[in-house]
A and B are shown apart, each in its own frame.
Chain A
Amino acid sequence: GEDVEQSLFLSVREGDSSVINCTYTDSSSTYLYWYKQEPGAGLQLLTYIFSNMDMKQDQRLTVLLNKKDKHLSLRIADTQTGDSAIYFCAYKRGAGNMLTFGGGTRLMVKP
């Protein structure tokens, strides 16, 4: 199976919370990242979490990491239409600087 899996699509209403989930298989991951990609653009780093952390909050973004289950989630509070984009989770292994990406989750925010 894939190293990193994400659901393909998520639709929410403006003002609601969005939760994007990610599961991975490599237990040696050190840093885990969330990136946002808007149409025709590159990737924008949203936030990251170190593998020895359980939770990290940064304004509207909350990252939860369950290392035992190899599950990572990104919660966006008070989701806005400008949050509509594709969200990729990714991890960095301990050795080397290569990132492994999930397939991306397309978030659609309805007004």
Chain B
Amino acid sequence: GAVVSQHPSRVICKSGTSVKIECRSLDFQATTMFWYRQFPKQSLMLMATSNEGSKATYEQGVEKDKFLINHASLTLSTLTVTSAHPEDSSFYICSAWTGNHGYTFGSGTRLTVV
């Protein structure tokens, strides 16, 4: 149980376009979703914490206007990278606190901006 489905797994987009990444909790209600960014051969960097029905809390240095997070329902949180640039290319992973099962992670989205 406690599965988070993350889509797309891989996306290549042109500079200046926006990309939406979705994370769905399949068999539980995710009141809190965490969004991470991972650079090659590095650890996960927490970008923001989203709570269902309220504004996301962004970590220091993360531009909230660039990385739009929406958590409108208990089973869906989205991260939109707006006006993407090559430096936004990275691996993005969502995670949800499930309570009984601890944290569960999505499978990640590899974003390449060309």
Residue ranges of A at the interface with B (Cβ–Cβ < 8 Å): 31, 33, 35, 40-45, 48, 88, 97-99, 101-104, 106
What are 19 pairs between A and B in contact, CB < 8 Å? Answer: A33-B102, A40-B91, A40-B110, A41-B108, A42-B6, A42-B105, A42-B106, A42-B107, A43-B44, A45-B103, A45-B104, A45-B105, A88-B44, A97-B32, A97-B103, A99-B46, A101-B43, A101-B44, A106-B41
Q: Is the CB of B105 within 8 A of A43?
A: yes
Could you tell me the dominant secondary structure of chain B's interface residues?
Answer: strand
- CB of B53, distance to nearest CB on chain A (Å): 16
Q: How extensive is the interface on chain B, given as a class?
A: 20 to 34
A17 to chain B, nearest CB (A): 25
Nearest chain A CB to B5's CB is how many angstroms away?
11
Q: How far is the CA of A43 from the CA of B34 in the complex (A)?
A: 13
Whether B93 contacts A42 by the Cβ 8 Å rule is yes
- A104/B34 in contact, CB under 8 A: no
